[in-house]
Amino acid sequence: MPIQFDIDPPVARLAAATAEFVREVVIPAERECGGSVHDAPETLRETLQKGAREAGVFAPHVPARWGGHGLDLRGQAVVFEAAGYSLLGPLALNCAAPDEGNMHLLEKVATEEQKDRFLRPLAAGEVRSCFAMTEPAPGAGADPRSLRTTATRVPGGWRIDGRKWFISGAHGAGFAIVMARTSGSPGAPGGATMFLVDADTPGMRVVRDIETLDEGLFAGHSELAFEECVVGEDRVLGAVDRGFENAQVRLGPARMTHCMRWLGAARRAQDVALERAGSRTAFGSVLGDLGMVQQMLADSEIDIEASRALILRTAWELDTGSAAAPQLTSVSKTFVAEAVNRVVDRAVQICGALGISAADAPLARLLREVRPFRIYDGPSETHRFAIARRAVKPYRQPRPEAAADS
Ligand SMILES: Cc1cc2nc3c(=O)[nH]c(=O)nc-3n(C[C@H](O)[C@H](O)[C@H](O)COP(=O)(O)OP(=O)(O)OC[C@H]3O[C@@H](n4cnc5c(N)ncnc54)[C@H](O)[C@@H]3O)c2cc1C
């Protein structure tokens, strides 16, 4: 099948409308939370989402059935990049992590009853959600098989016990999607199940909000405890013991939507650097005429264009259900996470002290925000490990001792 990269006119119009909304409404609102989205008030989220609805740009990824524009991943690539130009843009459009990934997962895996109960209000922006997978050591992290949180059968349902941390958006969320072990022991490849847990379920609590380097995600990241937390059988999301497979349904597209949003942030950083390079004089010329600054600007243009091309290619593979999608998702996630860090870092360098000011330019803030992306949704090293294993697989010869055994 030929790869189709044309952007449909309605998608292009939605991207243009999103860019205008971000420029006219969202960027001016950044002042209201001092740039820190972690502690932004709920009223700001409501106001921005109301504005997005009025501008006709709300919920680009949500199927029309639930009130959104129903874009596929290729469409999301252009619109999410426009939204990501401000840290508040994805929140305004209701396409920020982790809600956006959770909506996708619920749409694909939930029962009709669960969709009505959880997806409908989430898509409308009436509640927020979180996705609870990672655990403090020695539990699940880059290697999800280390999962230690357990779910044990009890009459009429399941009892969940364990601890999760770095759970984005957990503070104030209406519900959590929780990964727990229903069979096997830590280190086993299967045996996980996902559960939908209402925030007010006895036995689930926020232990603490974790202070972090980044501050760009609404409600920040929290540690959660599950102590004899009982949920009904109807709260199993997908099949029992198929949690790791379901996680892939969420993680592949969610890695790409992170790339899309952060590419918007990188573009903003580069635009700030270009403006400075065109106006600030040093040694008898503007910065943009100095060779070493030109090199940084050019390298950032290359990083941005290469990221966009990789995102679109991978979005195409995911949209068409291609067998190449997992490998390309790892390639894109690794490249884009590192490229956006390079772009933002160069922009800081080009702007000098202005780049370090948290008040006079967005760069210092962006520098803090992009760094964790090299860790979450799979650290770069874990993805490289997976990329190399897949690449070498067709060439792998049976080991001599294995051949002798058979
Ligand atoms: C800002 C932020 C938000 C997050 N939000 C969520 C959330 O909402 N929900 C959730 O469940 N989790 C969330 N996480 C957790 C995130 O998914 C984990 O941090 C990530 O999976 C890595 O796990 P870990 O931190 O336990 O690192 P570890 O598993 O301890 O890995 C540490 C390091 O080991 C190295 N490493 C790992 N694997 C390999 C390998 N195969 N080869 C070589 N080196 C390797 C890498 O350098 C890696 O960074 C978030 C994390 C951050 C930082």
pTM: 0.96
Ligand 1 proximity of 136 Cβ (cutoff 6 Å): no
What token pair was written down for 399?
């080991």
**φ and ψ at residue 397, rounded to 5 degrees:** -90, 150
User: How many A from CA of 246 to the centre of ligand 1?
Assistant: 19
Write down the pLDDT at residue 83. Answer: 98
Instruction: Tell which one of 338, 376, 380, 383 to mutate to probe ligand 1, the residue whose CB is within 8 A of the most ligand atoms.
Output: 376
User: How many A from CA of 162 to the centre of ligand 1?
Assistant: 18
User: Atom 16 (ligand 1): residue with closest C-alpha?
Assistant: 376
- 168 by Cβ neighbours in 10 Å (0-12 / 13-18 / 19+) ranks as buried
Ligand 1 proximity of 101 Cβ (cutoff 6 Å): no
Q: How many CB atoms lie within 10 A of CB 241?
A: 15
Instruction: Give the strand pairing for 129-132 and 175-181.
Output: parallel
Write down the pLDDT at residue 62. Answer: 97
Write down the pLDDT at residue 55. Answer: 98
- Return d(Cα 204, Cα 226) in angstroms, integer: 5
Residue pair 103/60 in contact (Cβ under 8 Å)? The answer is no
Among 200, 192, 196, CA closest to 150: 192
Instruction: Tell which one of 100, 134, 377 to mutate to probe ligand 1, the residue whose CB is within 8 A of the most ligand atoms.
Output: 134
Instruction: Tell which one of 177, 209, 375, 377 to mutate to probe ligand 1, the residue whose CB is within 8 A of the most ligand atoms.
Output: 375
Ligand 1 proximity of 214 Cβ (cutoff 6 Å): yes
Q: Report the half-sphere exposure of 205 (CA within 13 A, side-chain side).
A: 6
User: How many A from CA of 243 to the centre of ligand 1?
Assistant: 18
- Return d(Cα 262, Cα 85) in angstroms, integer: 8
User: Atom 6 (ligand 1): residue with closest C-alpha?
Assistant: 167
Write down the pLDDT at residue 405. Answer: 55
Ligand 1 proximity of 98 Cβ (cutoff 6 Å): yes
What token pair was written down for 361?
């330019």
User: Atom 35 (ligand 1): residue with closest C-alpha?
Assistant: 381
CA dihedral 46, 48, 49, 54 (to 10 degrees): 120
User: Atom 23 (ligand 1): residue with closest C-alpha?
Assistant: 141
- DSSP letters for 165-212: EEEET-TT-SEEEEEEE-SS-TT-SS-EEEEEEETTSTTEEEEEEEP-
- Return d(Cα 176, Cα 226) in angstroms, integer: 11
Write down the pLDDT at residue 399. Answer: 82
User: Atom 32 (ligand 1): residue with closest C-alpha?
Assistant: 142
CA dihedral 92, 96, 99, 103 (to 10 degrees): 90
What token pair was written down for 171?
């503070």
Write down the pLDDT at residue 35. Answer: 63
Write down the pLDDT at residue 400. Answer: 75
Instruction: Give the strand pairing for 150-154 and 157-168.
Output: antiparallel
Write down the pLDDT at residue 38. Answer: 87
Write down the pLDDT at residue 404. Answer: 58
DSSP letter for 281, please: E
**What is the separation, in whole angstroms, between the first and last Cα of the chain?**
41
Write down the pLDDT at residue 336. Answer: 98
Ligand 1 proximity of 141 Cβ (cutoff 6 Å): yes
- Return d(Cα 93, Cα 68) in angstroms, integer: 10
Q: Which atom of ligand 1 is nearest to the CA of 97?
A: 8
> Is the peptide bond between 326 and the residue preceding it cis, with omega within 30 degrees of 0?
no
> Is the peptide bond between 28 and the residue preceding it cis, with omega within 30 degrees of 0?
no
Maximum CA extent, the chain? 79
Write down the pLDDT at residue 24. Answer: 98
Ligand 1 proximity of 142 Cβ (cutoff 6 Å): yes
pLDDT along the chain (406 residues), means of 10: 85 98 96 81 95 98 96 98 97 98 97 98 98 98 97 97 98 98 94 98 97 94 98 98 94 96 98 98 97 98 98 96 96 98 98 94 95 98 98 91 58
Angle between helices 73-83 and 243-279 (to 10 degrees): 40
Q: Which atom of ligand 1 is nearest to the CA of 143?
A: 29
- Return d(Cα 116, Cα 235) in angstroms, integer: 13
User: Atom 39 (ligand 1): residue with closest C-alpha?
Assistant: 382
User: How many A from CA of 257 to the centre of ligand 1?
Assistant: 18
What token pair was written down for 357?
């000011």
